[in-house]
């Protein structure tokens, strides 16, 4: 079935780095835009970054621009988020999600999330 599974979260010190992964299955991964969305503990949703299906075009929220890099390996059906210069305010559950067919910017498949904690 259609599924997204994130991994790579954990505890990291301020200024450190972490790489998140999202493994996709059950659909033709390269056909879909993919995104990372995060949720700080007890807070709402915040969009982080998205990538087109080819990976050639990427966009970032201002809060992570220059520090985070989204990438994908379509041969491995995987999406990644390289996070550098991490700050306490980056502490959140990170979800990967698939943009559904059609240009409506709705995300129809979500992973279960991976927790990132930035603390000394």
Partner 1 sequence: EIVLTQSPGTLSLSPGERATLSCRASQSVSSSYLVWYQQRPGQAPRLLIYGASSRATGIPDRFSGSGSGTDFTLTISRLEPEDFAVYYCQQYSTSPALTFGGGTKVEIK
- N-to-C CA span, the chain: 40
Structure tokens at 107: 């995300």
Nearer to partner 1, 16 or 113 (CB): 113
Query: Least separation, in Å, of the C-beta of 85 and partner 1?
Result: 19
Give the interface with partner 1 as residue ranges (CB under 8 A).
35, 37, 44-47, 50, 59, 61-62, 95, 100, 103-108, 110-113
Is 8 in contact with 113 (CB distance < 8 Å)? no
Nearer to partner 1, 32 or 50 (CB): 50
Give me the numbers of helices (H) and strands (E) for the chain, helices first please: 0, 11
Query: Least separation, in Å, of the C-beta of 45 and partner 1?
Result: 4
Query: Least separation, in Å, of the C-beta of 64 and partner 1?
Result: 11
Is 47 in contact with 70 (CB distance < 8 Å)? no
Nearer to partner 1, 16 or 110 (CB): 110
- Alpha-carbon torsion angle 85, 89, 94, 97, nearest 10: -90
Nearer to partner 1, 16 or 23 (CB): 23
């Amino acid at each position: 079935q259609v599924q997204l599974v994130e991994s790579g979260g954990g505890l990291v010190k301020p200024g450190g780095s972490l790489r998140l992964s999202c493994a996709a299955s059950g659909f033709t991964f390269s056909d879909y835009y993919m995104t990372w969305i995060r949720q700080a503990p007890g807070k709402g949703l915040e969009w982080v970054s998205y990538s087109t299906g080819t990976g050639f075009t990427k966009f970032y929220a201002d809060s992570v621009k220059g520090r985070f890099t989204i990438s994908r390996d379509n041969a491995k059906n995987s999406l990644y988020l390289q996070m550098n210069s991490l700050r306490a305010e980056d502490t959140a559950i990170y979800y990967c999600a698939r943009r559904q067919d059609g240009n409506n910017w709705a995300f129809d498949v979500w992973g279960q999330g991976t927790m990132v904690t930035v603390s000394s």
